[in-house]
Structure 1
Amino acid sequence: MNVSTSVLRRLNIEALLRHAFTSGTFTAAEAMEATSLTRATVLGLCDELTAAGWIEEVEDSRTAGLSRRGRPARRHRLRSGAGLVIGVDAGRSGYRAMAADLRGTVLATGRRELDPDVVDRELRISTVQDLVREVREASASAAPLLVTVIGIPAPVDTHGRSPIDVGTFWRLMNSGFPEHLDGRVVVENDANLSALAEHGQHLEANMAALLVGERVGAGLIVDGRLLHGALGGAGEMRFLETVLQDDIGAEGVGSLARRWTLESLAAGRESPLLAALPAESLTAVDVFAAAQAGDALARDVLDRIGERIARIAAILVSLLGIERIVLAGAVASSLEPVLVRAREVLPDIAYAPFPELVASGLGRDAVVRGAIEHALTRLREDPLELLESLEPSASP
């Protein structure tokens, strides 16, 4: 086989695999229309990819009740169990992993909680290694691991690199995972992955996902494309300290809930519920619970957080034309009182049109779900990556 024929054959297989990834069950005619390949080529590749285990033949059109006359059409679909993808959320203290098949069906999950004050590079690497091994084994899948996507709380460029000249935290978070894990490994910013997870559930060309835990980070999708920027800096919120002219900067809901509650108590505000809790163990969960119970101090704190979220939303809308902002993270399910206040404030500080402000329904799984979505998207866009795992007899 000459080189040009080999290249053409790879491109044909890529086209058919891309169609299999993005469709459900398909006939040869449907594949021909989507790929512009001839009928003979489609049928030949279907037989080859079925033998290789990447697609499977299902009941024909007559058996499926889709046709009554003429010769029944053969039907194929991607074999979901042909490959495995793994997503990891390697946070500052919380670590989550998920294994899924090629349709995105979750097969296994795992998690760890570590003290961030004692975590070093080696412990981060070994924790992620253990989690990947754990979910791969628990998935009970013998399929090849095609790609592992790891989300980290640091800016990441399109090559998986973080800035190395801004303190030590980002260097610690981006601990060189690809060198310590098997197969293809992709490193991405956690807020970006949250945006991809939300985008997968609600297709919106211009949207943002705000991770609002201890810090605020934004994943930005503009004109349907995820933004990275130079050194992965798109969505970094350190500019808030300058723009909003305070020392709060990119503090998130967890940090602000503690800060403003303790400041109010120190100033003499009364709150029987919150004053009874040790200051060192106070959490955003406590403040949200107190607000729900009618505590005036806690309600004021949530209003202040809502006002800050509104200002962040106003900035994103003005600069990028964002139409939908999803607040994600562990506290997302409790954020409606904050969002109510943010929606009230927006018309007073910004110009229409105003963005839709909603809370994520993914909870703590937003980042790891986004990692799975990112892995599958990469395979849909470039299924030639699959070909490297094909048996020699089936490879072009």
Structure 2
Amino acid sequence: MKPNFRFILNTSIGIFALFLYCEYIIYFLVLKDCTWPELNSTNIDSTIQTNNEEAVRAMVLADTHLLGSRHGHWFDKLRREWQMYRAFQTAVSLHKPDVVFVLGDLTDEGLYCSSAEFDYYVRRFYSLFTVPENVKLYVVVGNHDIGFHYGISPYLNERFVQAFNAPAVQLITIRGNHFVLVNSMALEADGCFLCRSAELQLAKIEKILKCTKGNYGGKCDFRSNLNLYSKPILMQHFPLYRETDMECDDYDAAPLPIKKDRFREKWDCLSRDATNQLLNQLHPRLAISGHVHHGCTKKLPVGDGLEITVPSFSWRNKENPTYSLFVFTPNNYAVSKCAVSKCAMPRESTVITLYIMGGACLLLWFTYCAFTRPRRRIRKFL
């Protein structure tokens, strides 16, 4: 009985160790090398005053696509959500960000799910992406959450706004850094209930920024001015207008031939007119987006800033999902794209390979024990 018990115990320990490594430890081993980028003094904007406050550390991810009842198999849902939960919680515990931004497509079927299922979506999202009390979490809406422009109803929009506290346009200021969060589907300029409200809010933010800077041509209400002017950071789901991804050379960029696919305005990216409107109104130093599930870093078409597109955070949409770490001060910023060997999240293929190799080793050990134990017993009786 003792050899049998020892065999079962060792087998159980081996299986548990393999599972523990592939589903928990690997995230710490991979993400521990991801560090916050350092601010470069050569990038300082000397025209912007500083407040000498501590820099803001922001973690940005996009396109979590929590699966629904129509297209999500239960095991697929379990596997992907566990991956995102472990990756996110490990990243937050290691990096300790001040703020987290999720740039749209939180859900996969939010645009046509029932109220009960949407409530379940909300509970799952806040369960998977829970943050400590001292960390702020902000989200912007994506097309999978409420639909593309012409499919959005006041009900779908209001449902998302109320659940995630995510209006079409909002201005968030953290230690002198101004983040403008925008609903990409509200930039059609056709006078609809959503677009008209977004236009008014953007005009209001434009006025606030200009009044704070001191170059607004009209009358300013100084009670609504910001304490300190700095160029804003634009955050939304859709990328700004671009023809293709051919100029994207990031490690996590789209592979060929997807790179050559032409972008459709208002579907794959903002329209050219909406892009020019945003850039001319806000003059951002940085634009951050998601939607296309692949990474990209390129110069803004207007001004000297950058646009960074963040890939999908889910294994279901990208074999090598990534996130980004940013450090902001009012007159400077730095970004660390969590990719390459520096900060890559675990690949699904790596985890599967580890399971196969670990399972093969356990099988060899089972075979060894099965053949050697009978021989030992025979020798004992001889």
Asked if these proteins are the same fold (TM beyond 0.5), I'd say: no
Higher relative contact order (CA 8 A, sep 6+): 2
| TM-score relative to the length of structure 2 | 0.29
| TM-score relative to the length of structure 1 | 0.28
